[in-house]
Amino acid sequence: MAGSGKIKQSDLNQLVHHMSKKAFRAKDATVLDEKIMSHCLTLCGKDYKYSVLDNKNGELCNHYPPKLILLEYECRDSAGHHESIYNMQSLTDMFRKDRFARCRTRFVVPVILIEGKHICRSATISGNGERSGSSTATSDEANNGDPGDMQALDRIRRQDIKLLKELRVNHICDLMLENKKVKYFLNVTSSEKVDKLNRYSDFSLWSLPYPGCEFFKVWRDRDYDADRIVFDWSQEFVNSELELPQESPHLHIPDICWKEYKTWSLIKLTQNYLNTILRHVQSGDSGLLVHCISGWDRTPLFISLVRLSLWADGLVHKSLSSLEILYFTVAYDWYQFGHDLPDRLQKGEEIMFFCFYFLKFIQSEEFIVHFPTASRSRNVSSTDLDMHYPMGVLLDADFPPFGSSSSLCSDQSMSSRSDAAPQLFMVESTEKDGTMTSCPSSSALNGSRPVSVPLRVADSGSGSSGKRSDSPSVGSWQVVTGTGSYVESVSPHSGADAHRRLSSSGEFSRHSASLSDLHHEPSPRRTRLEEVRSLFYHAYASTVGFKNGAEDSSTLLDMFTDKMVALGNKLA
């Protein structure tokens, strides 16, 4: 039974604090976990008719929600609908058979419904290495011999394809850096694009390699500044190249020079990948599956960003307030789908925090999705107005270190949380970001000619960075200038460095609202995304806290206050 009552800030704080202490496991669900699930059902029910797939005690997948929400249609479109559009018995059987086709039994699940199209999530397809190590397969799933043999593998992959077609998914977005994940000399997972029998040839396969959660430790150690860090693509384990299908022209965004992706900062890489997904949502004719390896770090990053972006445009969850959509995406997209926040915090891999930090970089019109006949109207609740923190300083809260667990996408454990960050974090009101440059200007900066998007954007035999390094799989980053040239290797720096960076006129003006911004009415999209970002900062700072730094908190507070006073005097 779905719960009742409005979501409050205290509910969000409780959720973030709870998920920072324990990773969700369906078989170990607590009373609070049941309350969180109830809230999610209530929030979905405000806008959608849905069915529920029971995953009680993790019978289908232990790190999936206890109740999987299968959206059917918007409530405003429910005229004439009296029964579920799903045959739940048949669909449940398909999910049950499909789970062993995917890594960690994380099968394909639809999570966003837009214009009749499903956006789905999952892990990547499993290999014989993982399947042979599974002790959970029943005789029904492996009734034709050894579950590790090729015949069994063929059977479960064809079942996976059957489920994708049932959900009308024709596009697959693969975020993996590797074509296959090898552990202990076994291919434990693989990617649809390297399936030996080409079983996924009916699908439009996107290869959008994106750094794993390990690399967000560097972002944290750089005092949460991501617009100058570039991933080192020359590492030995990186063998997946960016590739978009030519048969999907709506993905070939003219202003993006895909051949230059190895020079992009973390911000620009994320912007361009997200924009590609949004263009498909707008112009594509079928559903989309997004996955990484395990599907609980990079996958929720993009699923959450897509959901929030579409909500800000008034296209999904139209009646939810800023607080409600934030609660839903944190609870459902991140926590209940298995994101291990305690482990990530202990290792400094704050990919979930990056998701909401990144909202300030997608407020411009280039990320807006347009549908000619779609209604974007949505009620603005009192929560939208009352809970808006346009600018402010959020105090740090200290929490003890958390336990660590193994990760399939990490061969190496990271160190515990650093002590080199400011104790205060500023909630900025940012101006329109300009990092997505056009092809002509981008080529002028990087010394290459403008090109259209090819089928294969890079020659696998000759990397853009020359000889591949023997660096460990955790990867490394480099700092680049505004022109895209490499300057230095990244290393953690002190809170004093962060203070100097924040105090410099250039950095402060780049990350703060300009005087001209204050004289213009912000767009509804920008306002909504700023509200979500501010609410999340408030909850995160008051429960988890940011990394501790040597800089005296009063110094940063005084600096921020002086800036605000000076700004106020100019406007007076």
Cα dihedral sign for 505, 507, 512, 515?
A: positive
Beta partners for residue 541, in sequence order:
none
CA neighbor of 476 nearest in space, from 488, 489, 485? 489
Active-site positions? 292
CA neighbor of 268 nearest in space, from 454, 452, 504, 446? 446
Please give the torsion angle defined by the CA atoms of residues 168, 174, 180 and 182, in that order, rounded to the nearest 10 degrees. Answer: -110
| Alpha helices, DSSP H, located in 212-350 | 216-221, 266-283, 298-312, 322-328, 341-347
Burial of 270 (0-12, 13-18, 19+ CB in 10 A): buried
Beta partners for residue 392, in sequence order:
427
User: What are the residues whose beta carbons fall under 8 Å from the beta carbon of 504, sequence distance 6 or more?
Assistant: none
How crowded is residue 360: how many other Cβ atoms within 10 Å of its Cβ? 20
CA neighbor of 110 nearest in space, from 65, 43, 56, 58? 65
Q: How many residues are listed for the chain in this entry?
A: 572
Q: Indicate the helix (H) or strand (E) that contains 205.
A: strand 204-207
**Residue 473 φ then ψ, to 5°:** -65, -15
Task: Provide Rg for the chain, Cα atoms.
Answer: 23
